[in-house]
Amino acid sequence: MTLTHTQELFRTAGDGDRRALGELISRVENDRRESAALLAGMCGDVDGFTVGIVGAPGVGKSTLVGALLGILATERPRVGVLAIDPTSPISGGAFLGDLIRMQAYSGQPNVFIRSMATRGHQGGLSQSTPEIVEVLRALKFDPLIVETSGAGQVDVEVRDVADTVVVVVVPGWGDSIQVAKAGLLEVADIFVVNKADQPDVLAAVRDLERMLGYSRNDKKKRVPKIVLTAAASGTGIRDLWTEVLAHQAYLASTGERIERRRRQLATIIKRMALADLEPAWSDGALVELADHVLGRKLKLADAVAKAKDVVGKLL
């Protein structure tokens, strides 16, 4: 059996070839067919560990990731960072600043950092993030850190790829009501109050604690830990990592780890199946149907039936 070029890249990347890894990720990101073919034979790796770092713009997520790399680069054999940035209207790509903040570690052979744009996808994650995470898991990156620059409910998506979700806030960002409004309360396994050298940090912590107390409808559910950091000076970073490892142990001991993996894979299966049917939802086809509806040639129900006809032809 001969390997396809993508499978060959996967093998070479597994041997530690960073250039092959970079090319591999680009393929998974840009070529859905190649991505699907590569994932087709996989069964989902359960060994690796993915940490999501989410929060509003400006709370210092990239600085925090950089500080974490200061620990991980010396303690872990293979560390990955996916930094997901909205497309910049200026550069047409990811924001350079975030990369610059992390680049101190990008030269290390065991650290792989990749910055990706969101490309107008309606979520905080890049269109192909779940597939890329799955491939990096299979390549034994552990941990893999997924940083999303988005703010708000969008970050709920991070649950689809991360085992442990770290929500970063800062004093003065707003009170806990804002955290709740942004939908971050439900996804947080750990809260980081960053820039903890600023005033009002204790008020911010009390406020979070009160909110976490209120929301404990389910008494069996684990209450998220709160960690104080000042990432720019490295303060609290070791504490944060210790809490991440504690959460990892919690997931393993309760069976929730395999449950989260199941949900992550369910997402991948759904995405792959939907992607196969994508031509039925192509902009051109749908807009043409919509045009007939607006022109009173079709009712909405007729247009829906026609879209489903296309699905049938794709099966």
Span 256-315, contacts to its own copies by CB under 8 A: 258, 261-270, 272-274, 276-277, 280-281, 283, 286-287, 289-291, 293-294, 296, 298-301, 303-304, 307-308, 311-312, 315
Q: What's the sign of the alpha-carbon dihedral 182, 188, 194, 196? A: positive
d(CA 49, CA 252): 11
- Residue 103 Cβ vs its own copies, minimum distance, rounded to whole Å: 19
Task: Give Cα 303 to chain centroid, integer Å.
Answer: 35
Tokens found for residue 260: 């989260």
Whether 248 and 163 have beta carbons less than 8 Å apart is answered as: yes
Question: Nearest distance from residue 257's CB to its own copies, in Å?
Answer: 11
Among 43, 75, 107, 253, binds its own copies (CB under 8 A): 43
Could you say which residues in the range 132-151 bind its own copies, by CB under 8 A?
149-151
Does 156 bind its own copies (CB under 8 A)? Our answer is: yes
CB nearer its own copies, residue 128 or residue 237:
128
Nearer to its own copies by C-beta: 124 or 236? 124
Q: How far is the CB of 243 from its own copies (least distance, A)?
A: 22
Closest alpha carbon to 209 in 233, 240, 185: 185
**Which of 122, 220, 253, 255 is in the footprint of its own copies by CB under 8 A?**
122
Contacts of 5 (CB under 8 A, 6+ apart): none
Give residues 52-111 in contact with its own copies (rule: CB under 8 A): 56-58, 85-90, 95
Q: Which of 232, 183, 176, 223 is nearest to 204 (CA)?
A: 176
Helix (H, G, I), strand (E, B) or coil at 196: coil
Torsion angles phi and psi, residue 287, rounded to 5: -65, -35
**CB-wise, 150 or 236, nearer to its own copies?**
150
At closest approach, how far in Å is the CB of 242 from its own copies?
27
